[in-house]
Homo-oligomer: A and B are copies of this chain.
């Protein structure tokens, strides 16, 4: 126990120090760090205006030096004494922690891609020919990224009714349990970010729920990919866990089927991360997706994303794609968990779900191994479904 009286299983001990943006009633949003069940006001502690902007972006742009300096200072302050000003986490409101520049969503779980392939293209190969050779991804809508707790208004959209398109509230609203990576340091257009430079650009990690309207998506996505089936809302957890807190979570990626091209060959840069996710619907745990099984790592995703010279901006967010393991109770979305609604899932209250119903609350949480056998907590990303307007 530190002098903050942190229980051993807090997930928010001195080895974590995730950053977010919070406010208390009547005050402006500012940077805070979570420690145990409290939030330390980093803006007041440091008196640095970069922490009073209501967004992590300006500080994120400072890069690894700024990241290390603040972490070192917070470690000293928190280890030495009970710091001020500290707020109980229940007394603060959390905000979107960073202004999202570009948002990219990958498709890097082999189990997920195979399941989706079997469901949507039952007559073809489960994986498309490119899948083992590159981390498939696409751009999502950055303006639709919102902080955990934002209501999920059921989207309307165009979908097939038999063989006729109609417009109305989605009937196949789904969750997607994902892990997101937050870029701090930009890169120049025309240059690439090699695998080894991943921790020079990416500050940290959050949880992502990439809400999906499967009926809209199924009708629209050929040939240019998902659009309105995804763009109504993407929720992120309020705390960004620094990569620096995940040293004990680094692990080897799964064996690959094919030799990788040099810019994606991560033999020397294994950045798989042993995050254990948990998905709950109305309190029932419906899945425990293992992030360590992802075929493509976040370092490979970044190397791929910039391999054509695309620049990075401070605030870029890229997500892993749905995290699914090999087992049925490790699947990261209802499309897979219920096999497109054909095998409904039982909740603890006795009800069943094919897809999400109005009023349902979905919560994704995660933890990872920390220093000295402890755990690193990610908090949670949650949202309740409201009826279509």
Contact = CB atoms under 8 A, between A and B. Distances in A.
Contacts of A140: 139
A216 B130 CA distance: 11
A228 B143 contact: no
Given A133-B165, A389-B191, A156 B232 contact: no
A233 to B, nearest CB: 7
Nearest to A388: B309
A311 interface: yes
A213 interface: yes
Contacts of A309: 153, 155-156, 232-233, 389
Contacts of A307: 156-158, 167, 228
Interface stretch (A34-42, A218-226, A355-363): A218-226
Given A228-B307, A232-B309, A101 B222 contact: no
Contacts of A156: 192, 307-309
B128 A313 contact: no
Contacts of A133: 158, 165
Nearest to A262: B167
A73 interface: no
A144 interface: yes
A262 B138 CA distance: 30
A155 B316 CA distance: 21
B102 A143 contact: yes
Contacts of A231: 139, 305, 308, 310
Given A308-B232, A310-B231, A220 B136 contact: yes
Given A224-B226, A308-B231, A138 B141 contact: no
A312 interface: yes
Contacts of A207: none
Interface residues of A, number: 64
A243 B137 CA distance: 35
B225 A165 contact: no
A261 interface: yes
A101 to B, nearest CB: 6
A140 B121 CA distance: 26
B157 A308 contact: yes
A227 interface: yes
A134 B158 contact: yes
A225 B224 contact: yes
A235 to B, nearest CB: 12
Given A156-B308, A213-B308, A224 B141 contact: no
A310 B141 contact: yes
Nearest to A225: B225
A146 B188 CA distance: 12
B143 A312 contact: yes
Interface string A65-85: 000000000000000000000
Interface in A350-389: 389
21 contacts: A102-B141, A130-B220, A134-B158, A134-B165, A134-B220, A136-B220, A136-B223, A136-B224, A136-B227, A139-B140, A141-B310, A153-B189, A157-B307, A189-B233, A190-B389, A191-B389, A221-B223, A224-B226, A225-B226, A228-B304, A231-B308
Given A142-B142, A153-B189, 7 more contacts: A117-B223, A137-B227, A153-B190, A156-B307, A167-B261, A190-B232, A223-B225
Interface of A: 101-102, 107, 117, 120-121, 128, 130, 133-134, 136-144, 146, 150-151, 153, 155-158, 165-167, 189-192, 213, 216, 219-229, 231-233, 261-263, 304-305, 307-313, 316, 389
